[in-house]
Structure 1
Amino acid sequence: MRQHDFQHHSHDDFADDADFGADVPRRRRRPRFDDEAQPTRSGRLTEAAKQRLSALRADAATETEVPGDGDRWSTWGDCVQGPHPPPAWVVTELGAVDTELGVLKTGKEADVHLLRRGLPGAEPGCLLAAKRYRGDEHRLFRRDAGYLEGRRMRRSREMRAMRHRTSFGRNLVAEQWAVAEFATLGTLWSDGAPVPYPVQRDGTELLLEFIGEADGTAAPRLAELRPRGADLRDLWHQITTALESLAVRGLTHGDLSAYNILVHNGQIVLIDLPQVVDVVANPSGSDFLARDVRNVAAWFAARGLPDDVLDVTALTVDLHRAMGLT
């Protein structure tokens, strides 16, 4: 990523006529910087000035050239970054480049791409999942009204735009989902919950830890697996622990199912958390929590996990207790 230079102009560029009288209407001359191109009316450029101008133009010409097969310079320096310090595997050098490797998943609200970030000529860099929320041209979140209860925008105009689904409002919805997911992942990851590390957010694009193999093979979803016996029990206990890690924050996933739980090397990872629900602030919060528990419990029951192990009622009570609701 290249850093941009900004010129700061003085607020005193012009004299205040009220202070000096109407007979002194002169403008103050703005000081000229050394690397600024001189006006043609001032005469020919000196040789030193020509060299400086040539260097500036050369820098501008190479600004957009990305080495090798890269698609863009790293955006690490111009974005909202995840919890600090980042893990050692995250490439944070501003001279790194991002290379698109393919699509991991497409959805109604967002697409997820596989991206490699690394320094030119250096291996292996790091693999990232680039989640890009769709904006105005797509219909976002058919059921988002329920999830948005308890969240507030600062301006009534923004709330109206979101409620009426204007073009501006749909873009706001997309960004709000991105902001909410990024913030939630940062909080939960810092608490030790099984979620991907949120590397950065740039508008409606999230760069997240890629869960999978070094060759770019993504970890399977729980729904793709057929665990039995001890493995099935272990996965269930991991999920209940994950639900408790959200509950202590007063949260529930909001749309939990076997399709947004990854399993990598025997460990679960929760994904797709834009609709995370504050159970206390949202009037329907307890309903969302109960649905999350029912959804995952039904999947495990269908795989043969006994009812006495599942014990949905006891789990729901425990989660409410962790939230301080009982």
Structure 2
Amino acid sequence: MKTPASLLMLIDEGVIDEVLRPLKSGKEASVYVVRAGDDVRCAKVYKDMAQRSFQKRAQYQEGRKSRGSREARAVASGSRYGRKQQEAEWKNAEVDALYQLREAGVRVPEPYGFFHGVLVMELVTDAEGFSAPRLGEVELTPEQAREYHAVLVRQVVRMLCCGLIHGDLSAYNVLVGPDGPVVIDFPQVVSAGGNNAARTMLLRDVNNLTATLGRWAPELLDTWYGEEMWELFEAGTLLPDTPLTGQFTPDERSVDLDGVRDAINDARELALIRQQGREAQDED
């Protein structure tokens, strides 16, 4: 295993003591299992913009606040400094979101700090202490699927009450720990009040979860939690513990019901395609 230079810097500075093994590598970052004293944690090393394959960054970054007027002007100008600032903001988005969501009681890994482009945080494990599996990798009973769906819908509500939307939520960025699901991976976190696509992204997040868990509990496929919570959010009445029914009656005068259903079906098909792709990779 070749240890990234940024992790060597963390060892030199005493932030971590040892890199144990790679955990996963994705389109935006690589994650490693590390040791800090007696604690085993994970370190997320973000890839530079030139190395990343993630597309449509501008859509996700709409509504994010720059840290100063100079930085905001630079980002808008597209200068080299502006691109550097945009890159820094992209990397800090997940860090800031984790601290905010953890404080709000959302089930996310505990962050321990951000050093030289590396996020050090809690390693989510299963009951035996091994790295927790992703939601898309486990078999569930109908009862477990309903329970996990209720827990995850509540996490989405609490995120929304913080003014945030995950933006890329699926069965592959939810880990299953001994106490239930934990949401991970927030680089695409979206401002609920400042992004024109916020509602669309919220509905996609909820539909992805529903499509996955609906495989074991088909009655979930006839729920409308995303639409319900967004309506309450727009009305200013959504609270972290607001009871939801999953029922929603759209205004047929202004809503394209067929389009809404098509979007839901597209999300479910995408979740299935992702799962089949993962299974094919595992077989290889």
- Whichever structure has more helix as a proportion of its residues is 2
Q: CA deviation at 1:191?
A: 1.1
With over 3 angstroms needed to count, the CA separation of the structure-2 counterparts of 1:150 and 1:105, relative to structure 1, is same
* Residue 138 (structure 1) aligned with residue 51 (structure 2): yes
Aligned to 1:312: 223
With over 3 angstroms needed to count, the CA separation of the structure-2 counterparts of 1:244 and 1:131, relative to structure 1, is same
Aligned mates of 1:126, 1:110 — CA distance in 2: 22
Aligned mates of 1:253, 1:143 — CA distance in 2: 15
| Alignment TM-score, normalising by the size of structure 1 | 0.63
With over 3 angstroms needed to count, the CA separation of the structure-2 counterparts of 1:100 and 1:232, relative to structure 1, is same
Aligned mates of 2:196, 2:229 — CA distance in 1: 20
Match of 1:184 among 97, 113, 125: 97
Q: CA deviation at 1:71?
A: 4.0
* Residue 103 (structure 1) aligned with residue 22 (structure 2): yes
Aligned to 1:148: 61
CA offsets, 1:8-53, max 9 Å, x none? xxxxxxxxxxxxxxxxxxxxxxxxxxxxxxxxxxxxxxxxxxxxxx
Aligned to 2:156: 243
Return 5+ residue gaps in structure 1 as ranges.
1-69, 76-96, 119-124
* Residue 218 (structure 1) aligned with residue 158 (structure 2): no
Aligned to 1:74: 14
Q: Is the 8 A contact 1:150 1:281 kept in 2?
A: yes
> Rg larger in 1 or in 2?
1
Return 5+ residue gaps in structure 2 as ranges.
1-9, 238-284
Q: CA deviation at 1:159?
A: 3.2
Larger RCO of the pair (alpha carbons < 8 Å, separation 6+): 2
Please identify runs of 4+ aligned residues in structure 1 that moved more than 6 A.
none
* Residue 116 (structure 1) aligned with residue 56 (structure 2): no
Q: Secondary structure at the match of 2:172?
A: coil
Q: Is the 8 A contact 1:140 1:174 kept in 2?
A: no
Aligned mates of 2:189, 2:223 — CA distance in 1: 20
Q: CA deviation at 1:239?
A: 0.8
> Aligned-pair RMSD on alpha carbons?
2.4
Q: Secondary structure at the match of 1:259?
A: helix
Match of 2:39 among 126, 150, 159: 126
Aligned to 1:9: none
Aligned mates of 1:289, 1:198 — CA distance in 2: 24
CA offsets, 1:188-223, max 9 Å, x none? 101111000111012421101111159872100000
Aligned to 1:282: 195
Q: Is the 8 A contact 2:112 2:120 kept in 1?
A: yes
Q: Report the identity percentage.
A: 33
Across the two proteins, how many residue pairs are aligned to each other?
A: 224
Aligned to 2:74: 157
Aligned mates of 2:193, 2:31 — CA distance in 1: 31
